[in-house]
Amino acid sequence: MQTKSNPAIIGAVRSISGTNVSVQLYPSLNSTISYIYGNGYKVGQVGGFVKIPQGFVNLYGSIVQVGADAVPESMKDDANTGSRWMTVQLVGEGAKGQPFERGISQYPMIDDEVHIVTEEDLVNIYGRDKGAEFVPVGTISGAENIPALIDINKLVTRHSCIVGSTGTGKSTTVAGLVNTLIDSTIFPSSRIILVDIHGEYGKTFKSRANIFRTIPENRTDKKLVVPFWAMSFDEFISFAFGDIQDNDRFPLSELILKLKKLTIEKNPCLFSYLNADNMTADTPVPFSLQRLFLYLYRSMFATHSCTGTGQKICAIDKDFDEVATTEAFATKEDGSKITGSIEPFVLPQYKEQQQSKIFLSAATMNLRRQLLALQAKMADPRFDFVLKPESFIPSSDGNITNDIHSLLKLWMGEKTLSVFDVSGVPSGILHDILGILLRVMYDSMFWARNLKQGGRKRPLLIVMEEAHNYLGSDNNSRASKVVRRLVKEGRKYGISAMIVSQRPSEIDPTILSQCGTTIALRLTNSNDRGIIANTISDNLSNLVNMLPILKTGESIIVGEAVRMPMRAIITFPDKKNRPDSNDPIVASDEKGKGAWNNNLDITDDEFQNIIKAWRLQQINL
């Protein structure tokens, strides 16, 4: 029984089923608050903790249910049972003076006493000293003097997810976590890439990160480029040509391989380590897109004529040697046509034929429609970051000013954080571009895993904001395929994912199931809560019932990166450095008038600025 000499005792064990323990509160406990050494502790609060002493070892558990529903099934028909019961989920153990450990080596017995967890116990569970791997990211809810410590090794290498309904502080939580991970006093060599779908984080990290945009907004921004020649063959064909027939794929791969071999031949100093015989169409070697296009264009659209009856039709050389011959594209007239030019890029112009019969090209590939679509993309400035990548455009013989190593250095080596603002990428190709970006990073880390800047020596964390947009369960995009591979195999190569979403129910379950740590903010949708309950590895799915009542910015953190499931508040960045995701103020509040309370003062210039921003694709004019 609870006594004045030991007010920490609140009940006793009455039933044990696996890791679930039914606890009956003592009748003498006549208050919901118990005072221990001057501190008040709430008794029987869902989400709170209790301990069950076992000699020198204490078992710790989380309260997941309170009241009549917590009565053991075998005792529900007993009228004398009462309603003062708790269901406790055992989560770990620890001896006095020893660190808390997840998992249990023994079970409690019937009538074992159950104690309130005091602040001293919480310090033992969560830890207070900053270790080499545990770093504070916030504070424990209700115990602001106890830091919320996260094992960075487990957070990064075992993948993680941050979920929460819109407006719950999800983006600010992400910013707070990233702030901790790029703190130069703790992690001077951290390496993080943040995929920013809506352009929210440029202001937050502008002084400490490389911000990549398709259209830079200021002098400090970097130009986002994704060189077409760094794509795999399948990625390039999908992006440049779209759907093509299977019998056209092999000839195209042969053409691209021949052009890449031409680059090796013409630039032996740059690529002396490469053996042309071992290359494939997937090898990231530069080649001239204009040379490929002109050859295909002439193959598809050239006309040929007979000068007399019975003569054979002229045809493009079918062994593809012509595609690698510079003279074939010199600007010249041969009496009937201009063959076109690579530098400057000039399309062939086929003159009207004087002979009575005109024949189409004898080329076997059928790419006329796809070539016209590629021609439109090459003329569209929105695609320049791929087809005309600044500083990475190959010459006619494949020579380049900067190779892809300088691009990877910008992305993953120059600063500890890179923000990819892809809000300016055309929506029709966004999924493909994200897939290509992620695949390039994955392949580079995979092959360089044992090198100094490889993934094992310097791990890479990729934070994917608004992940439900491109990692959907019914989405078979390139991004989704790459991330599925990344979360399954990336741990071995030092590349990991942090999935951020407001709709976890829309994300591929394969991806979520690989996340070892879950940071869940307020979730109001029952489907989303159900998905999170299924992914929590600690068998504490009942904690998910608390998600609808969490405060803004408050989260439940469970998984491998924490010693014990915790309810915590992540430390936010300064207000001036928070993501650009705040709700607009519509009506008056304590800070002043809202947007709809202001007097109308409409000018033509203001709407001209709207059109300027739209046309320039820039948020800040």
Which residues, listed in sequence order, are joined to residue 155 by a DSSP beta bridge? Answer: none
pLDDT at 114: 93
* Residue that has been written with the tokens 């999800």 in this structure: 170
**Residue 478 pLDDT > 70:** yes
333: Cβ contacts below 8 Å, ≥ 6 apart = none
Q: Among candidates 314, 309, 312, 315, which has minimal Cα distance to 356?
A: 309
Reading the block at residue 157, the tokens are: 């290498």
Mean pLDDT of the chain: 82
In angstroms, the CA 35 to CA 50 distance is 15
> Can you state the angle between helices 289-301 and 246-266, rounded to 10 degrees?
140
Buried b (16+ CB within 10 A) or exposed e, 125-144: bbbeeeeeebbbbbbbbebe
pLDDT at 103: 82
Domains of the chain: 9-128 (no CATH), 148-209+415-574 (3.40.50.300), 233-379 (no CATH)
Burial of 296 (0-12, 13-18, 19+ CB in 10 A): buried
Higher per-residue pLDDT: 76 or 454: 454
In angstroms, the CA 33 to CA 543 distance is 22
With contact defined as beta carbons under 8 Å apart, do 86 and 23 qualify?
yes
With contact defined as beta carbons under 8 Å apart, do 520 and 546 qualify?
no
Of the chain, the percentage scoring pLDDT greater than 70 comes to 82
Higher per-residue pLDDT: 174 or 597: 174
Reading the block at residue 506, the tokens are: 């829309």
Name the band, by pLDDT with cuts 50, 70 and 90, for residue 309.
very low
Q: Among candidates 500, 621, 513, which has minimal Cα distance to 570?
A: 500
* Dihedral pair phi/psi, residue 358, rounded to 5°: -125, 135
**Residue 420 pLDDT > 90:** yes
Reading the block at residue 308, the tokens are: 């007399």
* Cα torsion 53, 59, 60, 62: sign: negative
pLDDT in tens, 487-507: 999 988 999 999 999 998 889
The arithmetic mean of pLDDT across residues 79-106, rounded, is 83
pLDDT at 340: 66
With contact defined as beta carbons under 8 Å apart, do 210 and 419 qualify?
yes
Hey, which of 26-30, 187-191, 338-342 has the most confident mean pLDDT?
187-191
Angle 156-568-501 (CA atoms, 0-180°, nearest 5)?
55
* Residue that has been written with the tokens 């508040």 in this structure: 569
Contacts 24+ apart (CB under 8 A), 425-432: 425/214, 425/385, 426/382, 426/383, 429/239, 429/383, 430/470, 431/470, 431/475, 431/477, 431/478, 431/479, 431/480, 432/235, 432/238, 432/239, 432/477, 432/478, 432/479
* Residue that has been written with the tokens 């990548």 in this structure: 389
* Residue that has been written with the tokens 């031409």 in this structure: 262
Question: pTM for this one?
Answer: 0.82
Name the band, by pLDDT with cuts 50, 70 and 90, for residue 257.
very high
The arithmetic mean of pLDDT across residues 394-405, rounded, is 90
pLDDT in tens, 153-172: 999 999 999 999 888 888 99
**Residue 284 pLDDT > 90:** yes
pLDDT in tens, 510-527: 898 899 999 999 998 888
* Residue that has been written with the tokens 């949708």 in this structure: 525
pLDDT at 336: 42
* Cα torsion 354, 359, 360, 363: sign: negative
Higher per-residue pLDDT: 472 or 406: 406
Residue 394, SS3 per DSSP: coil
pLDDT in tens, 422-453: 988 988 899 999 999 999 999 999 999 889 99
Name the band, by pLDDT with cuts 50, 70 and 90, for residue 282.
very high
- Bond before 344 cis per omega within 30 degrees: yes
Alpha helix ranges (H) inside 456-573: 478-489, 509-512, 526-535
Hey, which of 97-106, 119-128, 505-514, 564-573 has the most confident mean pLDDT?
505-514
Q: How many CB atoms lie within 10 A of CB 279?
A: 16
pLDDT in tens, 116-149: 888 778 777 777 655 667 888 888 887 777 888 8
With contact defined as beta carbons under 8 Å apart, do 141 and 570 qualify?
no
With contact defined as beta carbons under 8 Å apart, do 390 and 223 qualify?
yes
With contact defined as beta carbons under 8 Å apart, do 140 and 566 qualify?
yes
pLDDT at 337: 44
Q: Which of 44-53, 202-211, 536-545 has the lowest mean pLDDT?
A: 536-545
pLDDT at 593: 67
Name the band, by pLDDT with cuts 50, 70 and 90, for residue 5.
low
Q: Among candidates 403, 406, 408, 467, which has minimal Cα distance to 441?
A: 408
In angstroms, the CA 190 to CA 460 distance is 8
Name the band, by pLDDT with cuts 50, 70 and 90, for residue 540.
low
